[in-house]
Structure formats: C-alpha cells, structure tokens
Structure 1
Amino acid sequence: MKTKSLIATSLALVSLASSPSSRADVVTDWNHIMLAALVTANLSPIVADRAAAIVQTSVYDAVNGIQPRYAPYHVAPGALPGASVRAAVVEAAYEALVKLFPMQKPAFDVQWAASLAAITDDGEFEDSESIARGLAWGQSVADAIVAWRSMDGFTPPPPPFLGGTAVGQWRPTPPPFLPGAGPQFAYMTPWAMTSPAQFHPAGPPALTNDAYAADFNEVKLMGSIGSAARTADQTLFARFWASDSPVGFWDRAAVAVGAARHTTLSENARLLALLNIAMADANIACWEAKYTYVFWRPITAIRLADTDGNPATDLDVTWTPLLITPAFPEYPGGHSTASGVAAAILAAYYGDDTAFPLESPGMPGVVRYYS
C-alpha cells in the first residue's frame, strides 16, 4: 500500500523532537557512501538528485517498517518481528545503490561487509536471526522502491532536444553545443507533487522591458570570465556552488546539523528522505518550467543582443561566462530551485537561525558557513 502522507508537498513538514543520541549511525554512514558514489558516477545534478531520493526513501521505509513512527512513503511496514533496523538500513541502501550503480558494486560490497561487522561487534545484542530478518526486509523495500521509480518516465531517453532559433529561444551553446539535458524531467512522475506543473512559475521578463535589460546588463558585467567588477570572493562563491550538485551540499548540511542536534537514526532517515524527495520534485518542477519557456542562455542573449528589440542591451560577440554554460534552457535556475527547497526544509526542521557549514569535494579545504 502506498501513501504519500509523509509529504503532501515538497515543503509540507512536521517538526521533530530532539533526542539523546549523538553518535553517527548507519543512516548517515550510508548517506556518506551514497554521496561518494554520486561523485564517482559523475552524474548531472538532476540525475544525482533522483538517485539520492531512491536511496533515501528506501532507507526511510526500511527503518519505518521496523520502527513505525511515521507514515510510510511507498512500502507499508511488514518486517518480521525482531528484525534489526540497522541491518535493514545497510541492506536497503546497498541494494538501491547496486541497482543504480552496478559498476561500483565491488566498493559497495566492501562497505556492506564493514557495516555488518560493525553491527555485530559494537556490543549491542543483535543475533544472527535479527540481522537476517533486517537484511531481508531492507532488500524487499529497496526492490519495491527501485521497481516503482523505474516507471517514472526517466527512461527511455527522449529524442535530442535542440530548442529553436527564434529570438529569445534556447539553442545549444558553446563550447560543446550539446542538446538540451534531461527534457524527460519536465514530465516525469513526481514524488510528492500532484503534477510537474503544480508550482508552475510565471515566465521570464519580456525581452523588450526594463527588467530584462537590468538582468542582462548585470549578468554581462558580473558573469564575464574576465570581469573586473566581480570580487575574488564572488568568483570563489560561483565556483564553489558549481563544484557539486545540490544533493551533495544539502545532504552534508543536514547530517552536520543533525549531529549537532543529536538526532536519532529514525529521525535522520526521515529528514534525509524528506530532503531528497523535495529536491527531486524541485527538479521536476523546474524542468517543467524550463522546457515550457525554453528561454535562451546569457551567452546566446549577449552575443545576439542586436536582435532582442531592446535599446538598453548591447551585443558582445566574444562574451564568455565564468562557468561553462550547462546544456538546458535558462529559466528558472536549477541549483537555486533545488537549494531553495532544501534550505526551506532545514529551516522548517531546525529553525531559520541554525548555522551550518557547507563543503564540496570539488574544492577540498574550502568551507562556507550559512544559517
């Protein structure tokens, strides 16, 4: 039986009470393993967020099936009595990851064995029958989640999307001139939304109005690869946020805040499920809008500014952005959409005055602090 009362929308949250446990647990351990796997797989942010949602919902329903404290997301509780919740987490995460990234199975096998060894050696009594029941339950949950999302519209990939050549329309951009990425996300089955268009935004500014000209000129000045107006910190900020997917940033932030708040295994499983489901739905909503408006990218707009009908914009046929332009329409922004919902979830859980660090594997040693 499937229920979506876990989240009515990406932002419908119920606050959790604090608890006494402060040590790392298998939920956060396997979230770390998952994030490393996403980096190894070198996925685009939207594909990484989908994979993370599959893993974290598998973990959540596995936990909740043994410790039924909340509504299930997709798989109703059904574990045998006495099943080890920690073994169920390990197996659910492992099975989901192996199905998503079969080439990384040897690494997952080593991590699976290490996790089970830690369960049996840490002094908490979980006998072989308890662990076996937990493993069986975790596998059944992951199998159900992966099978369900295999029909969400992610595959098969649609024909290449090449946009259009009309003024204001997106078209492949230099240097690689790739087709539009992920057009199927515009109509993919949501995780919690009623439809991809549930939160459909108003369109971008008309090319001939003042708001468009203001945005155009700000991006032209500040976003150029050799901009003298941009500070060193602004350059670092841009490169930092481009160096990882939103799931990487926000899952690490959630785990860090949870550790400081001494959240339990069950609470960690629920928070990470909510967070990743919401980001996955944010991507679907964003891509629905992107492929509705099909708005051109700054590199195209600036190099073709003499065609936009706006006297306040001037073309520069050599203009090049600081960061390589991603291969999909401009509006609305993908990182900002996913990060906006993630920040809202953490604020709803922990309050909007919570400080937390953000790090990126793409920029080792760089830590930025937010609240």
Structure 2
Amino acid sequence: MDVAIYWSDVVDDLNARDHSGTPILADQAGPTRTARAGALAMLAVHDAFFGIQGQPTYLSSVPPAVALASPQFAGGVACAQVLSVLYPKQRAFIEERLASAPRGTGNPNTAATYGEAIAEALIALRQGDAAFDERSPTRPSHVASPAYGHHRPDPMSPGQGFLNAFWGEMPFFATPAPVFLAPPPGLDAATGVLTPTDPVYAAHHEEIYLLGGSPTSSETTRESEESLIGVFWAYDGSQKLGTPPRIYNRIIKTISTQKGLTEAENVKLLALANVAMADAGIHAWFYKFHYDLWRPVLGVREHEPFFGPSADPGAARLPFSDVFWKPLGAPKTNELTTTGFTPNFPAYPSGHATFGASVLHITRLYLASIGKATIYPDGSDDVGFDFISEEFDGVNREVDGSVRPRHVRRFASLLQAIVENSVSRVYLGVHWRFDGTTGGYDSDGPGGEGPSATFNPDPDSVVVPRDSIGGVPLGLDIAEAIFNNGLKPSTASLAKGVPPPPATPYKAEPLGCRRRDKKDKKK
C-alpha cells in the first residue's frame, strides 16, 4: 500500500466531507484553505518519510535519521496529526484512517515519535497563517467598491459575502519570490478605472455574453459539449465533492498509476503538487482583491455605464448588455434547493486556472525530470490520460435530483487539460476568458481573429500565451519557480504589493472571439 496515495485519498475525502451536510462542517471550507491543508498534509508525509531515512526534507531542520523505523508509518502519523489540527470536527475519521494506514516494518513507536515531531514543526512553521483568514478577530470586514468594473456580491446571492480577502498577504510555502501578474485587459491598475471598449476586454465580454448565459437566454450559443466541460471541472465547494484541489489530486493519482511511479516518487510528486496549489491560492487571491474585477453576472448586467451604483445617465450605449442576464452558474451538485451561482470573490485571475496550471505543470515538470514525460518546445507534452470527474461519475446529482451520467474524458496532454480547465469557467458564465488565459482554442473563425473559447476537440488547437495575463501564465510561472528552486520554505510574500514586471515586457494582444451564430449551431 502506497503511503502517499493513501494519505492523499484521505485529504481528498476530508475535503469532500468538510463541504457536506447542512450546515457544512467548514473546518477548511473554500479552495484556498483546502489547498493549504493539502500542502501541510503532504509535506508531513514527505518530511517524515524522507527524514527518517536521512534524505532531503522541506523543513530545514528535522530529527536525525532512525535506523529500522518505518518511513510509511512515520509519514502516516505526521499526516494524521497535522490533519487532526486542521480538521478537528473530523478527528474520529482521521483516527480511523490512521488505524488502517500503511505501517511498513520496524518499530512503530519510534516511527510515531518521529512523525509527531515533523507534524509539530510544520504546524509551528505555519501558525501565523491564521491571521490572514477573515475568521481571525484581527481582520476587518471587506467593503465592496461601488465603482464601475469592480466586484460586488452576486445579485442572485446578495448575502454571500467575500471569501479570503486577506489570504493573499500570507507568506508563500515555497515560491522564492512573488510572481508578477499583469492587470486584466482594460483596467488601469493605477486608477482602478475599467475601459469596456478595450479590444481584448470587449472581445471577451462578447464571448461570455454568448457562451456563458443561462439556457433560457435566447442569445446563448453554448453547445452541450461546452456545458458538460463547464460542469466536469467545477467542484465549486459542492456537497460530497468539495473544492478544485480534489479533482487535481485525483488526476495526478490517475497519471501516477498509468506511469507506474514508485512510492518514493509519489511522495515527492504529491508534496510538490499540493505546495504548488497552496502558493497558487495565495497568489491568485492577492491579485483578485488587488485588481478587484467584477464577475460576468455584474459585468454583463451593468456593461452600459448608466446602470449600477455609479450610474452615469449620459453614458453611451454599449453592445452585448442585458440587465436581466444570468449565467449558467457554478453547479450546486447534490443540492436539491438551489441553482447555479457565481463564487464570492473577484474574477481576476481565475482560481481554477491558477490552481490547475500550477499543479498540472509541476506534475509534468517532475515527470520529465525522472524520464517519464516529454515537454516540447511549443509547451505541449506527451502525458495523455483518461479521467472520470466525480461531477459526471454516474452517482452525483443535478439540482432536480436526476443522476448525471458517467463520462470518461480523454486528454492528449496535460497542456490540453490546463486549457480546458481554464476555459470551462467561461462556459459556466462565471469568468472572463482572460481570467485564465488570453489564449484558448485556435480557430479559423470569420476574419481569423485568433484564439477563442469556442471548444475545439483537436488537442493541437490549444493556445497558451505566456503574456502574464490570467491564471494560466501565473500558475505556470509559480510551478516553474518552485520546481527550479527546490522544495524549501519561503519567507517571501505579496504583502507589500504587486512585484515589478519581468524584464521582457508582456504584451496584451487584441485576440478576438468567434461568435457562433444560431445558424451555425450544431443540429
């Protein structure tokens, strides 16, 4: 029994259980807290497993190696102790899993003592993180801006509040320095003024208006395949499913099985992957509340500046506006009383895109380093895989109670998965395409506009500009920074603000979108 796979499964189960029930347990609710919990748990396995053998660890100081003690049991005890601190409401479940965990051979008492020391050191290292959680009594309530283009609660969920407004100020786990993210297209970072006629913003606005709307809208041109993709990647804190780190961890374990990774390789990979997600959450949430860009549900309804709290009655009319527009919305899987919703934090960058790019890229970087993958000069790779999302596993349910069918989705590469994961949020109508990437699917649409969110099943069609715009480039840069620097603690943070741009200037190309007219829709 592989210790890394076993405890990663426990972490995933805790994520799902933490988001289930009425009310939910909510020890670590939300994707950022879930990602942090996963990082601490898998680092505990990593440092106890390798430290007890005298091999390199994440922590700079660990107890000396112990001969004839089980690395598997040391890793399990360390992980269980960390998880018991993070998920106190689920302590009994964690203890049950520890009782069935891989024990290896050797003195269990010595291994347990070693694991406990690792857990205590990790918890002490990150004990200051609590100050950046909005549940901390030292944090004031976040106040929304009424200005045009800025984030406010979903008008269909007006009491939803704001998740993790201060999270982005905490120290990174392993990124050696802050990663730069350019402002979203059309937003003047110095003044906070959004120009809706900016060519990139305008093109992506038209796209979300057409692809992300409710099925009841006569303007919505989204295909059924695109609706499926939107739900396939969702994991929006749903009952029995939890948050996005769960699906990404499950993808990694699917690939690990396919590649035949050893136990030690899985310990290393899952630690890298979960640390990348933790730092992706810190970066993404800093920039979300720094740039404070509105979600499409407001951006479409209040596109014309004479709507909204800062309405200008003399403003010019703009196309693709609808004060009654509703998105398809993030699915409330396994809940029978609610429909789709828009998440409770600003749009830019997409958390899904940042998490997915960071974790899937660091996975292929690691696989390439051990000779089990190839990353080509154009950014593509040869890590193909089949995957069943729990959103479509033949068990979980729509809001009307019907069971969604089982669906096996095939990917030719991890790059294809990175792009599809990002663009999936456009199909739900909860993100602009540039929240993830200005790329997407290469198309030969009218005028040859360039990349689009319109789905193209050809795996060679995916386009990922490294232009510092959106969560995909941000996640790729985070993964490379961690992998190249090595798995070691960082003292860097974004608390002092946006870092300077890289030496090579980014360029926001006015990439268009292809409007799929009604007559072009598949029959």
Q: Could you state the TM-score of these two structures normalised by the residue count of structure 2?
A: 0.61
* Cross-structure match for 1:62: 48
Residue 360 (structure 1) aligned with residue 389 (structure 2): yes
* Cross-structure match for 2:148: 167
* Cross-structure match for 2:14: 37
* Cross-structure match for 2:214: 225
Q: How does 1:72-91 map to 2 (within 5 A)?
A: 72-91=58-77
Aligned AA (2:392): M
Alpha-carbon distance in 1 for matches of 2:30, 2:386: 23
Aligned AA (2:143): L
Among 186, 192, 204, which residue is 2:174 paired with?
A: 192
CA RMSD in angstroms comes to: 2.0
Residue 99 (structure 1) aligned with residue 85 (structure 2): yes
**Which range moved further: 64-73 or 171-180?**
64-73
Aligned AA (2:342): T
* Cross-structure match for 2:264: 266
* Cross-structure match for 1:317: 323
* Cross-structure match for 1:234: 226
Which is helix-richer, 1 or 2?
Answer: 1
Q: Contact 1:162–1:171 (CA<8 Å) still a contact in 2? A: no
- Runs of 4+ displaced beyond 4 Å: 308-312
- Going from structure 1 to structure 2, the CA distance change for 1:98 and 1:362 (only over 3 Å counts) comes to farther
Could you report, residue by residue, the CA deviation over 1:59-112 in whole angstroms, capped at 9, with x for unpaired residues?
111111123443434543524332211111211121111111111111122221
Q: Could you state the TM-score of these two structures normalised by the residue count of structure 1?
A: 0.85
Could you report, residue by residue, the CA deviation over 1:283-338 in whole angstroms, capped at 9, with x for unpaired residues?
11111111111111111111111108675534211111111110111111110011
Alpha-carbon distance in 2 for matches of 1:90, 1:339: 27
* Cross-structure match for 1:108: 94
Q: Contact 2:46–2:57 (CA<8 Å) still a contact in 1? A: no
**Which range moved further: 352-361 or 52-61?**
352-361
DSSP-derived class of the 1:52 partner? helix
Aligned AA (1:89): G
Q: Tell which has more relative contact order, 1 or 2 (C-alpha 8 A, sep 6+).
A: 1
Q: CA deviation at 1:245?
A: 2.8
**Which range moved further: 59-68 or 72-81?**
72-81
DSSP-derived class of the 2:358 partner? helix
Aligned AA (2:53): Q
Among 103, 111, 135, which residue is 2:112 paired with?
A: 135
Among 270, 283, 286, which residue is 1:288 paired with?
A: 286
DSSP-derived class of the 1:233 partner? helix
Could you report, residue by residue, the CA deviation over 1:265-293 in whole angstroms, capped at 9, with x for unpaired residues?
22211111110111111111111111111
Alpha-carbon distance in 2 for matches of 1:317, 1:255: 44
- Going from structure 1 to structure 2, the CA distance change for 1:343 and 1:311 (only over 3 Å counts) comes to farther
- Structure 2 residues without counterparts, runs of 5 or longer: 20-28, 187-194, 236-241, 307-314, 330-340, 368-372, 374-380, 394-405, 414-523
